[in-house]
Amino acid sequence: MNHETSRDLYDRALSVLPGGVNSSVRATQPYPAFIERGDGGHVIDADGNRYIDYVMGYGPLLLGHDLPESVRAAIQSSMSDGPMYGAPTEIEVELAEFVARHVPSVEMLRFVNSGTEATVSAVRLARGYTGRGKIVVMQGGYHGAQESTLVAGDAENARSSSPGVPQTFAEHTIPVPFNDSEAIEEVFETHGEEIAAVLTEPLLGNTAGVPPVEGYHEQLRELCDESGALLIFDEVMTGFRVGGLQCAQGKLGVTPDLTTFAKIIGGGFPAGAVGGPAEILESFTPAGDVFQSGTFSGHPVAMAAGLETLRYAAENDVYDHVNRLGKQLRTGIADIVSDRAPGYTILGTDSMFKLVFTRAGATDIDEACIPGYRQTPDSDCFDHCPKTGADVESAETDRWDRLFRPAMKEEGVFLTANQLESQFVSDAHTDEDVEQTLEAYKEFFE
């Protein structure tokens, strides 16, 4: 493949954009593919190279790059009426009604513009509503570029994970290992009265998709109920992807107090939301006194794209299709690496999939983990697979970065930049795309 144009564009970008990009993960080395356009389940880069695309905008593009006519028409009609108004529009109400009809925890929504803004607002709402300060998060979870969650370490030793985040933020955040029943119990024993919320992804989508073990979310639900803390599910990635229109909470059967959304809810345009019962949501200004506001919030074009995307998914067999292909990818990859186990683990559910390179012998992951091929790859709660963020963070990111991802790119398969971030199947992907993808995985491992 020729990459000259991408290389030249990256060279120009490095002079005017820090690191040459506007979101850190995009800066794949030695230079990223600059994308010119999408085509169904594929992207075409500035040099004309075509890739099967499993990045899918990092999750928002449930329907792929060619939007169905109904979605395209709604977006174009909204745009031709004028970009935005700073006044309410009917489409915000319609999207809120649609989401409230389908997602168990949602009665009301406040729309924002991104996943980060959604989690920032949810954390402020939880603190304002409960009058408490501390937030519990999962190690290996990700909730966007926000101060309260850019925190590493553990319950005894939380520290900010980025320069620029004052240590005082970390003092209000308690990181715990995901799926660790004793650790969360202990945190509630010590800090129960101070905890405003437990904030967790239903499954750790930013750590390859580590699933919850049986009973973990139920335990979180109980502990929050007993102490008066709120349970917040960050469904920015899983929302309208895992569990279809009910989201992961519907599939898991655990109802959080608050839910954060972004990605698919904007149908490929910048949108996010915080959802929950009126009793809590009405604490937001102007109904209540927890300040929240935004010039672009409820942007009509993004609302139209989100609503028509979800309507299309509701009226067609989108979830059957993407989940079937997701399962084919997980089982297919598991077969390919089966004789190399236990060096690999396949994670994911529904339309998410990821092959994790575990570092043989370096951690107890080898004992803890029966490799993916021996599991049922579509089950949510594998008995023997990585259970915490740390289990996955010990994977060989170097081999992924330097060898695997670039090799797959040369084979025409576009994967997420990071060994730890999930990959996504869209409605536009075909059986042929999956076959071709599995051939590329096979070739690499042979």
- Site for ligand PMP (CB under 6 A): which residue of 96, 213, 262, 302? 262
How far are the Cα atoms of 88, 93, 300, 308, 373 from residue 303, in angstroms, in the given order?
A: 12, 9, 5, 8, 40
What sign does the CA torsion over 367, 357, 437, 69 have? positive
Regarding 114 and contact with ligand PMP (CB under 6 A), the answer is yes
- Shortest Cβ distance from residue 145 to ligand PMP (Å)? 6
Q: Which two tokens stand for residue 416?
A: 């997420």
How many Å from the N-terminal Cα to the C-terminal Cα in the chain? 21
Regarding 268 and contact with ligand PMP (CB under 6 A), the answer is no
**Does residue 142 have an active-site annotation?**
yes
In the range 301-340, which residues lie near ligand PMP by CB under 6 A? none
- Shortest Cβ distance from residue 257 to ligand PMP (Å)? 17
Find the part of the chain contacting ligand PMP (CB under 6 A) among 102-110, 114-122, 248-256, 298-306: 114-122
d(CA 355, CA 375): 14
In the range 126-185, which residues lie near ligand PMP by CB under 6 A? 142-144
**Does residue 263 have an active-site annotation?**
yes
Regarding 237 and contact with ligand PMP (CB under 6 A), the answer is yes
d(CA 274, CA 259): 6
Catalytic residue among 45, 54, 263, 380: 263
Find the part of the chain contacting ligand PMP (CB under 6 A) among 12-20, 120-128, 165-173, 234-242: 234-242
Query: How many residues bind to ligand PMP according to rule CB under 6 A?
Result: 15
- The sheet with strand 413-414 has its strands ordered as 35-39, 42-45, 50-53, 413-414
- Which amino acid does the sequence have at 434? V
Catalytic residue among 234, 257, 380, 391: 234
Regarding 43 and contact with ligand PMP (CB under 6 A), the answer is no
Catalytic residue among 142, 216, 319, 373: 142
**Does residue 58 have an active-site annotation?**
no
- Site for ligand PMP (CB under 6 A): which residue of 53, 234, 308, 350? 234
φ/ψ (deg, to 5) at 258: -120, 150
Bond into 30 cis (ω within 30): yes
Question: Is the separation of the CB atoms in 275 and 230 below 8 Å?
Answer: no
d(CA 179, CA 4): 46
Closest residue by beta carbon to ligand PMP: 115
Regarding 236 and contact with ligand PMP (CB under 6 A), the answer is yes
Regarding 392 and contact with ligand PMP (CB under 6 A), the answer is no
- Shortest Cβ distance from residue 23 to ligand PMP (Å)? 7
- DSSP tag of 204: B
d(CA 46, CA 34): 6
Closer by beta carbon to ligand PMP, 142 or else 400: 142
Q: Which two tokens stand for residue 258?
A: 């608050």
- Site for ligand PMP (CB under 6 A): which residue of 32, 68, 205, 389? 205
Bond into 342 cis (ω within 30): yes
Closer by beta carbon to ligand PMP, 206 or else 331: 206
Q: Please tell me the number of Cα atoms within 13 Å of 418 on its side-chain side.
A: 16
Site of interaction with ligand PMP (CB under 6 A):
58, 114-116, 119, 142-144, 201, 205-206, 234, 236-237, 262
Which residues are designated catalytic?
142, 234, 263
